[in-house]
Each structure stands twice: as C-alpha cells, then as structure tokens.
C-alpha cells in the first residue's frame, strides 16, 4: 500500500516494491501532469488531461443566457486516464486511513479481511455516486415526465455535471482492474470481481458513447442504492454476525431494482425510441436509433439482469440451506432428557438383592417335606 511505513524495503522495481509504493508512484505522475499547467508549452497538453473537453455554447431561448454544453470525443481518453490516477490515490487513502485501522480492531480472518476491504471501498464509492446522481436527477423532470428518456434523441449535448459524472464513473471502474494486482486479491476472488467490473465498464461506456446518458443515469442511481445497502450490511455483519437485518431489506430492494431496470429499458428501446422522429444511423450526428442497436442494448440489459437474478437466487438458497443446517444441529445438540424408569423385580422374587420366599412354613417343616 502507498502511504505506509515499511520496516523492510523490497528490491527496487520488484513486484512487492510496486505494490507497496504504487500510490506514491501514481501521485508523482499526477503531480507531473498538474505541473504542466505552469508552463505555456505543456499547458495545452495538461489541460486536455484535467479539464472536461468538447464544450459547446448554445442559446436555448431568445432572452436566455448562453449555456455551456458538452459532447464526447477522443480527447476524453486523456481525461479518463487522469481521473483514473486520482481514483487510485483515493483508493489507497481510504484503505490506509480507514479500512486498515478498522481491520486491526476487528481481527478478521484472511477471507473476511479481503471481503471487508472490498465492501469498504465499494460502499464509499456507491454512497458518493448515489448522492451525486440524485443531485443531477433533481434538475431533470423525470419524476413527472419519464418520456425525457427518449424525447429529442440523439442527446448529443450534456451539461457539465452529467459529462463529468460519466468520466469519473468510467475512470473508477477502469482503475479497479489494476487494483486487483495492487491489493493482492486472491485468485479465487479474481474471476468474480472481473465479471462485475467488466459489466460496469461495458454498460456505462455504451450508455456514454450511444448518447443514452439519460437512461444510464436513471438506471445507475437505484442500482447504486441497492449495492450500497448490500455492502454496508456486509460491513456491519463482519463487525457483529448478529446484525443481518440489512440483508432482508437489500433482498427486497434488489428485486424491485431489477424490475424497474427491465421496465424502463423495455419502455425506452421498445416503445420510446422507435417512435421518435430521428431514425437511422449516423456517427457524425451521434444517432444510433436503429433496430439492431436497440435490440442489442435491450438484450444486453435483459441478460445482465437475468444473470444477476440467478446469482441472487443461488445466494438466497445457499443462505437458507446454511440456516436450516444450523437449526437442525442445534435441535440435535439440545435433545429432551429421558425419564428414569422404575426397577423391575428380578426373577425368582429377588428385590434389592434379597431373596424373598412365598413359603411361610418353618425350616423344620420344609425339611420334613423334602425327606
């Protein structure tokens, strides 16, 4: 990790050296880009990394003031790269000053330690993105007019907050790929994390490139809320295993979010976009409103939601089996005590070790009978 005090310094440029000092290296690279603003020769290149590009000034009405809107272009790659560096630095800061200190107090196992770090990082990101996305949606009229998802397509112009939101989202999920190496993620966990990282990168980038940023933003906000609740519940569970009420609420909201995602996607691609005036394919105009692309996007969303529901059902079944097994083991451990039985008299009339005879005659009479 970066920003840590090490007792032993590994060989320079070795794997351990890069892992321990990756945040310091990234910080130096980001500082070099920022220092480029100080010189006239390099300022033109440094601005391309730091500021949002492709701004367009438009006048929406005759009496209104001009408004700065933004488009996307190839220079956005440089902007995404710079904010990817910032995401790596913030990741190291959260890990060093928050998560590592909590881990020392909890004394978790290696498996729980890795999951705790993953949930801590994602919970912080989901919380920030959810608040930011809600602040953007409050400026839109989606709550009263859902048709803004497809009206006026293609939506080639974005306000600053929307474009910067997408740049930061793409940068964060791209930074998660090298973090698999920097954080020494276990081999068993790498495929699972690669799945959802790649899904985020593909879906968010597609919404940005296909000018579907309105739909993407509306779908991301409730999804991030559900994921925030899950990872927050998992953090509480690691601190105290009795705190599991958050998972019940998460399960309910998870199903609602999946239904909402499918409903809005079908409305947009199945009913809204086919009825708009601008039909056709044009890279120059940013118009991708053709049947092939619409059906491909809808199929990708539906398959992703189906995969998530399948994972969710398997997770719930696994938890139910573990709960039933634990309940069965508790019942076996606490079995009812058997009642003590009365002692039966021994054969031959023996009771308590004393032989009792029913013959009440004297010993002399018995001898006489025997003779």
pLDDT digits (tens, 9 = 90+) for 147-162: 889 998 999 999 999 9
Helix (H) or strand (E) holding 70, with range, is strand 67-70
pLDDT digit string (tens) for 177-212? 999 999 988 888 899 999 999 999 999 999 999 999
Residue bearing tokens 């730091």: 50
Element (H or E) spanning 308, and its range? Answer: helix 291-333
Question: What tokens does 214 get?
Answer: 């309105």
pLDDT band at 2 (very low <50, low <70, confident <90, very high): very low
Q: Tell me the C-alpha distance between 33 and 48, whole Å.
A: 10
Q: Which CA distances in Å does 184 have to 15, 171, 177, 282, 316?
A: 11, 20, 12, 44, 29
CB-side exposure of 303: number of CA atoms within 13 Å?
8
Alpha helices in 10-144 (DSSP H): 15-35, 40-50, 76-94, 100-106, 110-137
pLDDT tens track for 55-110? 988 776 665 678 889 999 999 999 999 999 999 999 999 999 999 999 888 888 88
Q: How far is it, in rounded angstroms, from Cα 63 to Cα 116?
A: 55
Q: Where would I find the beta strands (DSSP E) of 238-345?
A: 280-282, 287-289
The reply to whether omega before 278 is within 30° of 0 (cis) is no
What is the structure's pLDDT at 366? 55
Alpha-carbon dihedral of residues 138, 140, 142, 146, nearest 10 degrees?
Answer: -170
Quick check: 256 pLDDT over 80?
yes
Tell me what the mean pLDDT of segment 298-327 comes to: 90
Please give the Cα distance from 226 to 286 (Å, whole number).
32
Residues 316-371 pLDDT 10s: 898 888 778 877 777 777 655 544 555 545 444 444 444 444 455 555 555 555 54
The CA distance from 118 to 115, in Å, is: 5
Q: Report whether 217 contacts 159 (CB < 8 A).
A: no
**DSSP secondary structure string, 114-128?**
HHHHHHHHHHHHHHH
Q: Six-digit token pair at 305? A: 């939601």
What span, in angstroms and rounded, lies between the C-alpha atoms of 117 and 112?
9
Q: 203 near 216, Cβ under 8 Å?
A: yes
pLDDT digits (tens, 9 = 90+) for 23-59: 999 999 999 999 999 998 999 999 999 999 999 887 7
Q: pLDDT value at position 308?
A: 95
The three-class DSSP label of residue 67 is: strand
pLDDT of residue 353: 42
**Mean pLDDT, all residues of the chain:** 86
**Arithmetic mean of pLDDT, 241-246:** 78
* 355 sits in which H/E element: strand 354-355
Asked whether residue 144 carries a pLDDT value surpassing 80, the answer given is no
Q: For position 356, what pLDDT does the model report?
A: 47
| Banded pLDDT at 213 (limits 50, 70, 90) | very high
pLDDT > 90 in the chain, percent: 60
């Amino acid at each position: 990790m970066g920003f840590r005090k090490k007792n032993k310094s590994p060989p320079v440029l070795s794997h351990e050296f890069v892992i321990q000092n990756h945040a310091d290296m990234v910080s130096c690279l980001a500082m070099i880009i920022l220092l480029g603003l100080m010189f006239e020769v390099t300022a033109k290149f440094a601005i391309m990394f730091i500021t949002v590009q492709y701004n367009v000034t438009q006048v929406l009405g005759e009496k209104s003031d001009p408004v700065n809107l933004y488009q996307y272009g190839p220079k956005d790659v440089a902007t995404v790269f710079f904010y990817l560096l910032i995401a790596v630095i913030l990741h190291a800061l959260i890990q060093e000053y928050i998560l590592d200190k909590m881990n020392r107090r909890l004394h978790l196992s290696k498996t729980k330690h890795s999951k705790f770090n993953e949930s801590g990082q994602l919970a912080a990101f989901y919380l920030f993105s959810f608040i930011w996305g809600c602040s953007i949606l409050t400026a839109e009229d989606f709550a009263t007019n859902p048709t803004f998802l497809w009206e006026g397509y293609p939506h080639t112009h974005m306000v600053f907050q929307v474009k910067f939101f997408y740049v930061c989202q793409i940068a964060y999920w791209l930074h998660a790929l090298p973090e698999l190496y920097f954080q020494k993620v276990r081999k068993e966990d790498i495929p699972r994390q690669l799945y959802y990282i790649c899904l985020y990168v593909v879906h968010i980038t597609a919404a940005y490139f296909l000018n579907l940023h309105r739909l993407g933003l509306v779908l991301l906000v409730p999804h991030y809320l559900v994921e925030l609740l899950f990872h927050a519940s998992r953090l509480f569970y690691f601190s105290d295993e009795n705190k599991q009420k958050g998972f019940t609420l998460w399960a309910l909201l998870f199903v609602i979010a999946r239904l909402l995602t499918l409903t809005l996607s079908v409305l947009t691609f199945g009913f809204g976009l086919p009825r708009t005036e601008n039909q056709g394919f044009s890279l120059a105009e940013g118009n991708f409103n053709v049947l092939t692309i619409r059906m491909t996007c809808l199929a990708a969303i539906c398959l992703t939601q189906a995969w998530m529901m399948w994972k969710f059902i398997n997770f719930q079944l696994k938890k139910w089996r573990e709960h039933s097994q634990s309940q069965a083991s508790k019942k076996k451990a606490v079995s009812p005590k058997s009642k003590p039985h009365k002692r039966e008299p021994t054969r031959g009339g023996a009771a308590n070790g004393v032989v009792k005879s029913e013959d009440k005659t004297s010993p002399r009479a018995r001898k006489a009978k025997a003779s």
